Structure 1
Amino acid sequence: MTEEIQKEKGFSRRTVVKGAAWSVPVIAAAVATPLAAASVADVGAFTTAGTCGVLGVLGPGFTLTASATAPLPIGTTITITGSGVANIGVFSVTGGTASVTALSNTSRLITLTSALPAGATIAFRTTLSISVAFTLNEVVTLPADYIGTGAKTTGSVNSTLVLCSAS
């Protein structure tokens, strides 16, 4: 008699609770899937370094080298700030393609306009002379959705009228 009454009423409470319990993991997995699908590309251990240049021949600046396994993407930015001088000069780019924007007399933004191939090096040099006292600092920033595991993202050049050091 109890089974006949249950059939007439439709689903039992036990059946509804079982169904709800099984649906929770399915709904949770469906919600988490878009988050897992958004992947981050690792460009590896790229490096950047300051360079003093050669007095009267090659200006001071920075080099940026892509890791041996992955290119640096378009949109990678290099922010250079200087102190000790009124103007950090004009920056040239060799070994790759990038735009240079003057943010102020003592700050430049360099943006890669084409990918830097794996293992390749691009250089950014200023017209400043190392016979002038100044400090230049650099920070490399990757576009969103990129990381650089083990990367060296900062560099500096320090000139003291007599000596120049770079890292």
Structure 2
Amino acid sequence: MLKKDSVSTEVEPTLERRTIMKGAAWSIPVIALAVATPAAAASDVDLGAYHLNGTCGILGVLGPGFTLTAGPTEPLPVGTTVTITGSGVANIGVFSVTGGTASISVLSGTSRQITLTSAVPAGATIAFRTTLSISVAFTLNAVTGLPAGYTATGGKASGSVSSTLILCSAT
């Protein structure tokens, strides 16, 4: 609303009290959100003691590979990766996934990256097995990677499988 001063010929704008109150009412939630966001963004979800273990499999029945088990209270999230590298062979074979869903990327003849495409529920296990036979000498090492915003207190993030033609050991 504009008022004309009786002495002056200039017009001065005036603010109504309602206009000020409406502006203040809208700014309070925006300020509160801006203050709360950094604290929320900085906090990580602790997945607890999940574990990745090597497994020798069973000669002629189940190939060697790895099992990934979620901790007892939190699921392993979509985007969790397992990178597997091998030595002693030119190709570590074709990997299969059981107990969940994941995509498998061939990085090289001796390297694969497996990415979870669905969460592994708390306490559940997903397995990754290769077509390699334990009657061949090789070593497989694997390490997990968690998506941004996740940590794992007490987690076992790596595992291995080693075959010497006669014996197989896994951690």
TM over 0.5, shorter chain: yes
Q: Does 1:76 align with 2:80?
A: yes
* Corresponding position of 2:93: 89
The Cα shift of 1:100 comes to: 0.6
* Corresponding position of 1:18: none
* Corresponding position of 1:59: 63
What is the 5 A alignment of 1:33-48? Answer: 34-38=37-41, 39-48=43-52
SS at match of 2:39: helix
Q: Does 1:149 align with 2:153?
A: yes
CA–CA separation in structure 1 for the residues paired with 2:121 and 2:99:
10
CA–CA separation in structure 1 for the residues paired with 2:98 and 2:39:
39
What is the 5 A alignment of 1:1-167? Answer: 34-38=37-41, 39-167=43-171
- Between Structure 1 and Structure 2, how many residues are aligned? 138
CA–CA separation in structure 1 for the residues paired with 2:157 and 2:134:
23
TM-score (norm 1): 0.80
CA–CA separation in structure 1 for the residues paired with 2:121 and 2:76:
7
The Cα shift of 1:32 comes to: 7.5
* Corresponding position of 1:28: none
Could you tell me which amino acid in structure 1 is paired with residue 39 of structure 2?
A
CA–CA separation in structure 2 for the residues paired with 1:128 and 1:61:
9
Deviation per CA, 1:83-116: give whole Å up to 9, x if none. 0000000000000000111000000000000000
CA–CA separation in structure 2 for the residues paired with 1:86 and 1:37:
47
Could you tell me which amino acid in structure 1 is paired with residue 66 of structure 2?
F
TM-score (norm 2): 0.78
Could you tell me which amino acid in structure 2 is paired with residue 89 of structure 1?
G
The Cα shift of 1:33 comes to: 5.2
Structure 2 residue runs without a partner (length 5+): 1-33
Deviation per CA, 1:23-81: give whole Å up to 9, x if none. xxxxxxxx975432212111111011000000011000000000110000000000000
Deviation per CA, 1:105-160: give whole Å up to 9, x if none. 00000000000000000000000000000000000111000001110000000000
Sequence identity of aligned pairs in percent?
Answer: 74
As a proportion of its length, which structure holds more helix? 1
The Cα shift of 1:161 comes to: 0.5
